[in-house]
Structure 1
């Protein structure tokens, strides 16, 4: 093993996966709180509440999906890709359902600002994805495990 390679033990990878999840969640929370403060000063309490609700949606939905994929990758690595794709589809569907429910209720007209809610969801998702990629790259978490030399033909 070279000094630039990370050790290949499942426990280290899972711990790194949790730290990546927490780092991505922290990044999205910081952005959401900043958006909420800016929204409160520029557009009032509806904007602040919209940004907070958008941030909670992003952290809750993306956090749960990432956690599930991390757990499955640790238990049954061969199912990780299928579970990742399934959770992605479910995250998109769940986010759409939440927006449909919010649009059907009067919350978006009276309590929450649509623009700040959407901005927090879009910005939070973008910062989540960027920070997740950066943290996984810095921690050298492999996307897949290479086969051992004994299994090669």
Structure 2
């Protein structure tokens, strides 16, 4: 799913680091919409990472599959995590002139996650970057109470790098 964002990362000189946790699981979902969510999250992270790279982590438990996208850029000020999914909202309106975009990407991503019975959440602190987490139920009619991945990063313990292969979307 990240293949579509690799050229943008390469043009921007941004390394993408892939990590996976949990057992392989099959996720029944609209792959086009989930791909769009991941591309929106990666595009946002690449745009705001200040060339420090982006970590993409996938994980599963018995009920859900999750992907986090973490950058190490400007981060989010207090209260902004609840605003990032609002239509046309931008952390820095001046960036619209340089990076383009309509300010709709994350709002659309949130709606796609909800259509799948999932969550899309954001966390960040000024100067430490931001982390977005997409969590989806493995069962089409299922639900879940916890994501298999933490939203709040534990930067003291680096995750092992490996290709993301533990979630197959159909």
TM-score normalised according to structure 2 size: 0.27
Q: Which one has a larger percent strand, Structure 1 or Structure 2? A: 2
Structure with larger Rg: 1
TM-score (norm 1): 0.29
